[in-house]
């Protein structure tokens, strides 16, 4: 069982990777890890380079928190994903350019490459649009993640989930790579999609693939 301090340190360390990885910039995006009867989440409006372990905000499942800093304005969808998905223990929300570009067009990422399996199915769905921080957006995100571990958010960004923060961050980077590849393919021609059997075979093989196999 990881200690709370270890989990706080993980959030801080991976937050520092958001900008170098191309996933987010400035104060955009947020990260959380399930802990106890709630979760730990990045604070609202702080640059990642300034966030220390003590700035990470514990939030209860009813939304209560007791901290000098406010939690990310997106805490609701983190809470609701954890409530709906016992398999999820870490969440990365970011605004990377290619994922966000497709989300601005309200497009899913289809099975144009076998790495679509990182999302747990044959597509990365795009959720419906609602104002950030609202319950309506949270409900839309939970629907888009049904049976999936990643989704795009219409006119907003993307979400990747995982059993660990390391896995969630890896998945976020892979989804952004898929989005970039798909955007390029759309400029070249009409991407040829893998069929259901081909996607299922990859998902099965991914059971023992790298970070996908870590719980």
Q: Are the C-beta atoms of 160 and 144 separated by less than 8 Å?
A: no
Block residue for tokens 């679509």: 116
Catalytic residue among 50, 66, 74, 174: 74
State CA 174 to chain mean position distance.
Answer: 11
Block residue for tokens 């191309």: 22
- DSSP label of 86: T
Q: Give CA torsion, residues 33, 63, 106, 190, to 10 deg.
A: 20
For the question of residue 136 being annotated catalytic, the response is no
The gap between the terminal CA atoms of the chain, to the nearest Å, is 12
Name the residues annotated as catalytic: 74
């Amino acid at each position: 069982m990881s200690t709370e301090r270890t989990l706080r340190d993980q959030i801080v360390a991976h937050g520092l990777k958001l900008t170098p990885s191309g996933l987010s910039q400035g104060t955009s995006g947020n990260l959380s890890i399930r802990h106890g009867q709630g979760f730990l989440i990045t604070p609202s409006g702080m640059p990642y380079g300034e966030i220390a372990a003590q700035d990470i905000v514990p939030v209860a499942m009813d939304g209560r928190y007791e901290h000098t800093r406010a939690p990310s304005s997106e805490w609701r969808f983190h809470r609701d994903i954890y409530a709906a998905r016992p398999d999820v223990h870490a969440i990365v929300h970011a605004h990377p350019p290619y994922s966000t570009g497709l989300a601005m067009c309200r497009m899913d990422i289809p099975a144009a490459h076998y790495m679509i399996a990182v999302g747990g199915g044959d597509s990365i769905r795009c959720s419906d649009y609602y104002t950030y921080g609202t319950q309506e957006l949270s409900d839309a995100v939970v629907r888009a993640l049904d049976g999936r571990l990643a989704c795009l958010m219409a006119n907003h960004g993307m979400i990747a989930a995982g059993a660990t923060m390391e896995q969630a961050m890896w998945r976020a980077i892979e989804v952004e790579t898929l989005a970039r590849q798909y955007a390029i393919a759309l400029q070249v021609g009409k991407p040829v999609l893998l069929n259901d059997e081909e996607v299922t075979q990859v998902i099965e093989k991914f059971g023992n693939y790298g970070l996908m196999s870590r719980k």
